[in-house]
Chain A
Amino acid sequence: MTPRAKLAILVAILVSTGIGLILYKHYSLGFPLWPGEKQQVWTIEAKVEFLAYGDPVLISFALPDKPPHFINLKENFASAGYGFSQEQIDGERRAKWTSRAASGKQTLFYRLDVYGKPGTNLKKSFAPATPLIPVELEEPYKTAALNLIADVQKRSVNAETFAVELIKSLNSPNLEQSVQLLLGENYSEHFKAQLSIDLLSLAKIPARIVRGLYLESGRRRQSLVSFIEVHEGDQWLLFNPVTGVPGIPKNFVIWQRGGQSLLDVIGGSQSVVHFSMIKNARASRDLALRYGENTKAPLIDFSIYSLPIEEQNAFKYILLIPIGALIVVIMRILVGIRTSGTFMPILIALAFIQTTLITGVLIFLLVVGTGLIIRSYLSHLNLLLVARISSVIIVVAALMAAISIISQKLGLSQALTVTFFPMIILAWTIERMSILWEEDGPHEVIIQGSGSLIVAVLAYLCMTNPVVEYFTFNFPEMLLVNLGLIMVLGQYTGYRLSELRRFRTLMNQDVSR
């Protein structure tokens, strides 16, 4: 295999791995590709109220367990004076509050933050069927029910169509006689849902009731809404008991599945549960990060985010340096700008990040300019090289101190950021420029000096671009793409932009020898 082909394969692997990881993080973990993307977070509050009479109290309350389409962000159980535990009963998550003696009106709170799960659109839930609940009906209801079932069975082919037809029958504007008898005077949704479950069970179709909440901002004193779920094949299908529409509606949080009670109170009476909810916007990135941490996604668990915040901040800069390197490579290989010291512009650009651009450029010119004047004096003193550069370092230190103090006295607090410039690099820059001045004249100093500044400013503009900053930090996989890009540029054998100018005089003649 030729080196070129090897490199092409390596670059392809690097770039596709990088882009693949980025897409995985975006689509599976929900990392937004742009900074500042917000997502709705719902805070649902369940308020349990009851009266106690001084006896021991035990409250058992059903909790939502991984509601489909939603991600639990955090839970909070506020209950002064109550012992609290969570338990799993028959595959259902329940909160248990206990108190030795409570009297008077009691209030318990359960608070849950959820947000929409990215990229999921599950209509169905795969779970084994529950055993049929035996239904005992008295006459004449039993006959009416069996008649209705027989009637619906004629119009349906399987459990799914049976459920749809049954819901239609129960909700048609002209109720049949048997349905009228079964419904009696009770037209509530909850009753209809419960009746549907009973009828389905009589027809030997596994069914269960599903309770949940519609999320609507600012709603208070809400109750759970009942849906019915029918087992067909190997999955549960959800239906609206009134409209017969299948699937989970938008913004609907499933709180409880199955016919168990929502709330059990022992040692109290007049218990009631109210739900209220509020929505607020949170940065999508934080949510995605939290989700990744909670689910122990390896890409998040073994990443920069697992570091302490301080190190994370340091990495913010470290991850920007490759972007600067890319700029240097482009400016060198494609444009052909001459700089003093290959990667010196990156370090200057990093200093600009701290000082802001205009201040940074002014300080840089001031320090290097003054340094050059002092350095030209030092060259008369016949010093050995290392001693001379060390002297320049001290001069730079003094200059920085002077700039800081003078600017402080003048009330220019911006110039205090001079301390962020890398001293050793400045000293070397001054030394190199000074040699360049002596050897090649001021013309070359200006060319290389302005070349360095242009590259530094470009690197600064790229590194401080909010999108770039966000992307490099949240998608460190970009490093692989960057690496691949730089490798490709390393193979570029075409002309540099500066060479098009350099060789322009060759254009006017015929050269074919």
Chain B
Amino acid sequence: MFLANPKKLRELGILGMNGRNFSYIARHNPRHLYPLVDNKLKFKLLAQKAGIAVPELLGTVSEQHDIKKLRSMLAPHAQFVIKPAKGSGGKGILVINEQRHDLYFKPSEEALTNAQIELHVSNILSGLYSLGGTPDIAMIEAMVQLDPVFTDYSYEGIPDLRVILFRGYPVMAMLRLATHVSDGKANLHQGAVGVGIDLATGTALRAVQFNRPVSKHPDTGYAFSELKIPHWNNILPLAASCYEHTGLGYLGADIVLDKNLGPLIIELNARPGLSIQVANGVGLGNRLKKINTIANASQSPEERSKISQEIF
């Protein structure tokens, strides 16, 4: 079948891009709150103040002439991540796994010189990765230590968990796994695997790669039926608490599991994508409508998570 029948899609409650933008993003996300999530540095500072668990901030570079100090800033850290504060869609994120002989190694074993790192930071500051090309700030974050649960399911890069929150209620979750095809990126349209996660139990529902169902990880060969996300009952309240702190009604929270620190929010997204529906095999539309009927602003993140786990 080349095209889906729009009538059937609507029956299934599949949310389209226009519907998402019009009925949810425009209606529930006030424009003035965007910088809180679009600017990762702002969010990081907000999260640290609010006590939301996030990866540690090792330093920032905001001026071109500070780039010279980069080498000494990075020296004490064997592993780190460089991110543009206003980047979108994972653009401009550089992960360094190892420092050796004055070279920086990416998870793919590709070696970068100090000059290349400096160029990357310079590009970030010039606004190459920011929305609208405005000048930006480069953030250096501690690298997350992969939780051993995921070693069987990860290929270059850290799997991250995307939870969609509507009015503070978790509505859907997906685990994104980088693959060889996706070049270590957790981007679904580049070939990363999306695993739909059952909100009630934290186990895998189904997995897709390039829109097609898969039963095991294409690189490691482990079956997704065995996958169960640890700390599941802590993850949802953590994600749900972001609603109180940002005020954004329609939100995507990206969470990673650190071996030592447990679940950490790496970033929030005010315009989360729709591929999560394909990974779960479920439409967002019906769930969002249901939340609209039961939403109660006085409930705590824990209460909201529990309700979501019961109804979805």
Contact = CB atoms under 8 A, between A and B. Distances in A.
Given A385-B127, A441-B183, A499-B16, A507 B2 contact: no
A375 to B, nearest CB: 13
Contacts, number: 98
B19 A494 contact: yes
B307 to A, nearest CB: 16
Given A441-B190, A500-B4, A505 B278 contact: yes
B123 interface: yes
Contacts of A497: 3
Interface string A475-513: 000000000000000011111110111111111010101
B232 interface: no
Contact of A507 (B8, B91, B126, B127): B8
Contacts of A493: 16, 18-19, 22-23
B150 to A, nearest CB: 24
Interface stretch (B46-54, B206-214, B240-248): B206-214
Interface residues of A, number: 30
B22 A496 contact: no
Contacts of A496: 16-18
Interface in B86-137: 91-92, 115, 118-119, 122-123, 126-128
B283 interface: yes
B19 A503 contact: no
Nearest to A428: B133
* Most chain B beta carbons < 10 A, residue from A435, A440, A497, A501: A440
Interface residues of B, number: 43
B294 interface: no
Interface string B174-187: 00000000010001
A505 B214 CA distance: 12
* Most chain B beta carbons < 10 A, residue from A384, A495, A503, A509: A503
B129 to A, nearest CB: 8
Contact of A506 (B2, B12, B119, B127): B12
Contacts of B148: none
Given A336-B17, A496-B17, A507-B5, A502 B211 contact: yes
A431 B8 CA distance: 41
6 contacts: A495-B14, A496-B16, A500-B4, A505-B212, A506-B14, A507-B5
Interface of B: 1-6, 8-10, 12-14, 16-19, 22-23, 64, 91-92, 115, 118-119, 122-123, 126-128, 183, 187, 190, 208, 211-213, 274, 277-278, 281-283, 312
In the A-B complex, the 10 residue pairs with the closest CB atoms: A385-B126, A495-B16, A493-B19, A504-B4, A500-B3, A500-B4, A493-B22, A382-B119, A499-B16, A493-B18
